[in-house]
Each structure stands twice: as structure tokens, then as C-alpha cells.
């Protein structure tokens, strides 16, 4: 009988990652030849960056693996010299200096002391400068793993130190297979067909495994497909209905959704609007008029030119969405 898992349970092995086979193969090739001590993982929210970081942290210390990256259950549950920080909360040079000090000392247990810096794009310029010397290269006993959803904000000099990988999102076919497989694997009881959720996921262009699992969790709890994907990715905004109103050309219904938006959620809204527009262009189930096709294509161009600073992202997003809605007006 298959193991019954929680819907939100993260994979604990590289083999358990869905849709990242090429990256996993490359990581194992690195570890078999020249094991890196500095990594940088990028990708959209929910693609599994911190999950991979956690698996690597255990794998560096597990001595029972038959295949590197698939640590045993005992080591996965053990307490290693692992230090994790969220740069969105602690981004200053003093925070990094504390980690650098810790990294200089050998671990009390295991062979490697692993430091994970999540949302590393939020680090201050001074913090990044402080990391230059300690990561080129680190002491033999230390491993640094950086994770970011905004690779362009990581200084070029700091990008030269690590081995870099980008976690990809799933395409429409893979997302459907993922939801179907996970619903069966976790043995959840759906009160309705999975098809409405799959259709909503396709319409919104959701391809991040973590976001798909969040939607499945809500759907299994009895929420409608639309409600299950409404705040996909952790945004405080109902992105599903925002996108519907946007491509209906109804700005009066788009604007109220943006009242709840924050600067932090602006980039997530942008990502889902881009996926929605792209989905409308490539889907065989959605038939767009020439005017709608032109509006979607121009909207994708406008959304691609996002500002670098998060502080102005929300104001920029208001203006771009207003222009898109105007193009869609009947």
C-alpha cells in the first residue's frame, strides 16, 4: 500500500522533485566530480528552491545514501549544523556577519555546516559585499546555499561565486499530471471532479508545484476551483477574478482588487497576469478575437518592462493594468 502523505508535505529527496529532472541530474554530476560549496537557486515562488536547499543540507551530511541527494529517513529527521535565515526579515550586514562567524567554525555534528539564505535578493548592498570573501571559497567544512525569486537583484559579483540553477515551472500537461498524481498519492477524497481545478489552473497559468499543492489543498477542503486559485502564490489579492475582469476590459472591477495589494505582492500579481495573458494566447480551448490577441501580446510586452525597485512596482503595475484593460474594452 502506498504511503499516505499530507498534501502540503515537501519532498525529502531529489528523486522526489517533480519536473526538475535535468537539474537533479546536473546537481548529481557536480557532486560526483567537483562538489560545490556555494549554490544559488532561483525561480518563481513555489517552484521548490528552499526544498532543494533543505535536501542538499541533509545530503551533505548523510553517509547512508545509495544515490546522492536521496538521504535516508534517519538523517532527514536528525539535527545537523544547519542555519537558515530569511533575508526578507534579516537583510543587514550585521546579520550576515553573524552567519559568516558561524560558518568559520566546524560543525559539532556531521562533516558540513550548511547556511541557507532564503529570499537573498533582499540583502542590502553592504551585506552582499561582506559575503564576497567568505564565499570565494568557503572553508572546507562550510556550504552556502542562496535562494531567490529575483535573480536580477543579486549583484553580478556575488553571482560569480556559486553554482547557479533555475527551477522551472510546469507546463500545462505537467501541471495536470502533477495534480492528478498527487491527489491519488495523498489519497484525498474529492467531493467533485478534479477537472474544474485543472481548468482554473490552466487559465491562470499556474505551474509552480508549491502553488499547485496549495490550490489542491483548498479544493479538497470543499472550496470552488475559482476560490482555490484566487490567492495563488500567497498574494493577498484575488488574482483569478482580477485577471478575469482585466481581460473583460472592466477596470471598475479590477481596481477594487488592487486596493488590497502591497508592494510585496505586486510582483506576484504581475507574474500571474503574465501567465493569464500567455495562457490565452497558447491555449487551444480559448478562442481570442484578433483584437484580444493584440491586447494580450502588447500586455505581455508592457509587463516585461518592470521597474527594478520594489518600492515603485505597485504604482507601475496600476498604470500597466489600466492600459491593458483599456485595450480589452469591447
Q: Who contacts 195 (Cβ-Cβ below 8 Å, separation ≥6)?
A: none
pLDDT above 50 for 3: no
- Whether residue 146 is found in the same domain as residue 195: no
Average pLDDT over residues 162-181: 91
SS3 at position 38? strand
**The pLDDT value given to residue 45:** 84
Domain CATH code at residue 25: 3.40.50.300
CA distances (Å), 199 to each of 21, 58, 232, 271, in order? 25, 37, 14, 18
- Whether residue 187 is found in the same domain as residue 305: yes
The pLDDT-based confidence of 2 (bands split at 50, 70, 90) is very low
Which has more pLDDT, 88 or 298? 298
Say how far apart CA 163 and CA 30 lie, in whole Å: 9
pLDDT above 70 for 313: yes
Q: What is the DSSP letter of 151?
A: G
Direct distance between the N- and C-terminal alpha carbons of the chain, in angstroms, rounded to an integer: 55
Residue 6 lies in a domain: no
- Whether residue 196 is found in the same domain as residue 220: yes
- Whether residue 155 is found in the same domain as residue 183: no
Q: Who contacts 96 (Cβ-Cβ below 8 Å, separation ≥6)?
A: 123, 127, 130, 131
Say how far apart CA 124 and CA 90 lie, in whole Å: 10
The pLDDT-based confidence of 284 (bands split at 50, 70, 90) is low
Tell me which residue has cell 560558518: 103
**The pLDDT value given to residue 131:** 95
Residue 312 lies in a domain: yes
Residue 59 lies in a domain: yes
- Whether residue 26 is found in the same domain as residue 156: yes
- Whether residue 185 is found in the same domain as residue 322: yes
- Whether residue 77 is found in the same domain as residue 191: no
**Number of alpha carbons in the 13 Å side-chain half-sphere of residue 262:** 5
Domain that holds residue 142: 21-166
Residue 3 lies in a domain: no
**The pLDDT value given to residue 9:** 67
Percent of the chain surpassing pLDDT 70 = 92
CA distances (Å), 87 to each of 13, 51, 118, 121, 268, in order? 25, 17, 6, 8, 18
Which has more pLDDT, 286 or 33? 33
| C-alpha of 23 from chain center | 15
- Whether residue 203 is found in the same domain as residue 220: yes
> Strand locations in 38-94, DSSP E?
38-42, 82-86
Residue 5 lies in a domain: no
210 with 43: CB under 8 angstroms? no
The string of pLDDT tens digits covering residues 191-234 is 668 888 888 888 777 888 988 988 888 888 888 888 888 766 56
Number of separate domains in the chain: 2
Choose the final residue of a domain: 166, 200, 219: 166
> What cell does 230 get?
484566487
Choose the final residue of a domain: 119, 149, 166: 166
The pLDDT-based confidence of 260 (bands split at 50, 70, 90) is confident
Of 53-62, 279-288, 294-303, 312-321, give the lowest mean pLDDT range: 279-288
**The pLDDT value given to residue 101:** 94
Of 79-93, 237-251, 260-274, 307-321, give the lowest mean pLDDT range: 260-274
178 with 18: CB under 8 angstroms? yes
In the predicted model, what is the mean pLDDT of the chain? 87
- Whether residue 225 is found in the same domain as residue 319: yes
45 with 233: CB under 8 angstroms? yes
**The pLDDT value given to residue 4:** 33
Choose the final residue of a domain: 143, 166, 189: 166
Average pLDDT over residues 277-305: 84
The pLDDT-based confidence of 172 (bands split at 50, 70, 90) is confident
125 with 155: CB under 8 angstroms? yes
Helix (H) / strand (E) element for 145: namely strand 142-148
> What cell does 129 get?
559585499
Residue 58 lies in a domain: yes
- Whether residue 230 is found in the same domain as residue 308: yes
- State the alpha helices, DSSP H only, in the chain: 21-33, 49-59, 73-77, 93-103, 125-132, 156-159, 172-185, 195-204, 209-220, 225-229, 239-246, 251-258, 263-282, 290-304, 313-328
Residue 146 lies in a domain: yes
The string of pLDDT tens digits covering residues 197-209 is 888 888 777 888 9
pLDDT above 80 for 7: no
**The pLDDT value given to residue 304:** 86
Would you tell me how many other CB atoms lie within 10 Å of the CB of residue 258? 17
Q: Which range has highest mean pLDDT (255-264, 266-275, 287-296)? A: 287-296
- Whether residue 91 is found in the same domain as residue 176: no
Q: Is 155 exposed, middle or buried (0-12, 13-18, 19+ CB in 10 A)?
A: middle
Q: Which residues pair with 117 in a beta bridge?
A: 85, 146
- Whether residue 52 is found in the same domain as residue 149: yes
Residue 4 lies in a domain: no
Amino acid at each position: 500500500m502506498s504511503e499516505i502523505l499530507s498534501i502540503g508535505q515537501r519532498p525529502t529527496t531529489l528523486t522526489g522533485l517533480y519536473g526538475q529532472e535535468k537539474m537533479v541530474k546536473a546537481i548529481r554530476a557536480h557532486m560526483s566530480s567537483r562538489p560545490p560549496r556555494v549554490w544559488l537557486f532561483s525561480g518563481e515562488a513555489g517552484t521548490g528552491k528552499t526544498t532543494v536547499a533543505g535536501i542538499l543540507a541533509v545530503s551533505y551530511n548523510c553517509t547512508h545514501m545509495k544515490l546522492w541527494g536521496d538521504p535516508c529517513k534517519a538523517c532527514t529527521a536528525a539535527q545537523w549544523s544547519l542555519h537558515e535565515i530569511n533575508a526578507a526579515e534579516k537583510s543587514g550586514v550585521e546579520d550576515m556577519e553573524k552567519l559568516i562567524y558561524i560558518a568559520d567554525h566546524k560543525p559539532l555534528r556531521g562533516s558540513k555546516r550548511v547556511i541557507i539564505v532564503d529570499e537573498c535578493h533582499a540583502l542590502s548592498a553592504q551585506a552582499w559585499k561582506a559575503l564576497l570573501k567568505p564565499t570565494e571559497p568557503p572553508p572546507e567544512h562550510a556550504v552556502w546555499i542562496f535562494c531567490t525569486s529575483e535573480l536580477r537583484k543579486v549583484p553580478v559579483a556575488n553571482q560569480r561565486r556559486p553554482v547557479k540553477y533555475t527551477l522551472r515551472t510546469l507546463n500545462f500537461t505537467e501541471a495536470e499530471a502533477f495534480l492528478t498524481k498527487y491527489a491519488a498519492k495523498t489519497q484525498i477524497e474529492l467531493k467533485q471532479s478534479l477537472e474544474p481545478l485543472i481548468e482554473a489552473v490552466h487559465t491562470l497559468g499556474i505551474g509552480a508545484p508549491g502553488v499547485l499543492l496549495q490550490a489542491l489543498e483548498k479544493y479538497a477542503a470543499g472550496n470552488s476551483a475559482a476560490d482555490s486559485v484566487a490567492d495563488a502564490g500567497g498574494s493577498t489579492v484575488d488574482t483569478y477574478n482580477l485577471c478575469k475582469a482585466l481581460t473583460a476590459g472592466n477596470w471598475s472591477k479590477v481596481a477594487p482588487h488592487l486596493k488590497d495589494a502591497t508592494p510585496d505582492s505586486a510582483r506576484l500579481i504581475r507574474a500571474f497576469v503574465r501567465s493569464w495573458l500567455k495562457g490565452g494566447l497558447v491555449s487551444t480551448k480559448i478562442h481570442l478575437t484578433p483584437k484580444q490577441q493584440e491586447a494580450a501580446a502588447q500586455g505581455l510586452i508592457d509587463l516585461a518592462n518592470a521597474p527594478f525597485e520594489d518600492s515603485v512596482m505597485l504604482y507601475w503595475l496600476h498604470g500597466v493594468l489600466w492600459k491593458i484593460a483599456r485595450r480589452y474594452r469591447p
